[in-house]
């Protein structure tokens, strides 16, 4: 129609950064960066970010010890990124988290427990992503979700449970 439309605040967002190496973790958690991010019009932050989310123990913020992990050797000396760290980032930037749930090496109950812990730290649970790039045939993913149908069947259990608990 040629008329301009306002773009909702939650249209733009950013990935929580590569949290594989300490230098990137230090940058992400730097209060000066977080204060600058608060001035951006982005209101979504993907937590805990992409492929790494499938290999992190949310209780410790560390990579799980699993030889199938693409981060098995990369993250040995990596400093953990905890829910408290994410809560600080979310609070400082005044953003809404997009939770990248670990549907590969965790369970539905554990991921619900993570989201409940996040709520207790003041983070909202409005948006969730059910895994990340699970199509990559070079990884362990096909042994867990051999097809899109297998993934859909599994997620058809997760979705109503998440909706029931978090709306």
pLDDT in tens, 11-57: 888 887 678 888 889 998 999 999 998 998 878 999 998 888 999 99
What confidence score (pLDDT) does residue 40 get?
A: 87
Q: 83 — phi, psi (to 5°)? A: -60, -35
Measured CA to CA, the distance from residue 76 to residue 62 in angstroms comes to 9
Please report, rounded to a whole number, the percentage of residues in the chain having pLDDT higher than 90: 63
Helices (H), 9-134: 22-28, 31-37, 83-93, 108-120
pLDDT tens-digit series, residues 70-103? 887 876 788 999 999 999 999 999 999 999 999 9
Measured CA to CA, the distance from residue 97 to residue 89 in angstroms comes to 10
- What's the half-sphere exposure (Cβ side, CA atoms, 13 Å) at 113? 8
Structure token pair of residue 113: 């427990």
Is pLDDT of 69 > 90?
no
Q: Which residues contact 127 (CB under 8 A, 6 or more apart)?
A: 44, 96, 97, 98, 99
What confidence score (pLDDT) does residue 117 get?
A: 98
Q: 50 — phi, psi (to 5°)? A: 45, -145
**Averaged over 106-129, what is the pLDDT?**
97
* Helix, strand or coil, per DSSP, at residue 14: strand
> Residue 136: which pLDDT band, with cuts at 50, 70 and 90?
confident
The answer to whether 19 and 47 are in contact (CB under 8 A) is no
Helices (H), 8-82: 22-28, 31-37
Mean pLDDT of the chain: 90
């Amino acid at each position: 129609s040629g008329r301009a439309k306002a773009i909702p605040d939650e249209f733009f967002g950013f990935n929580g950064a590569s949290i594989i190496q300490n230098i990137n973790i230090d940058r992400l958690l730097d209060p000066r960066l977080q204060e600058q991010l608060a001035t951006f019009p982005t209101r979504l932050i993907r937590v805990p970010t992409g492929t790494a989310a499938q290999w992190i123990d949310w209780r410790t913020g560390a990579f799980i010890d699993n030889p199938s992990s693409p981060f098995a050797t990369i993250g040995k000396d990596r400093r953990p990124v905890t829910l408290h760290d994410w809560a600080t980032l979310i609070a400082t930037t005044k953003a809404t988290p997009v939770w990248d749930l670990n549907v590969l090496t965790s369970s539905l109950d554990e991921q619900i427990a993570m989201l409940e812990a996040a709520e207790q730290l003041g983070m909202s649970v409005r948006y969730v992503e059910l895994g990340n790039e699970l199509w990559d045939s070079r990884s362990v993913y096909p042994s867990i979700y051999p097809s899109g149908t297998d993934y859909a069947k599994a997620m058809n259990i997760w979705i109503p449970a998440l909706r029931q608990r978090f709306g």
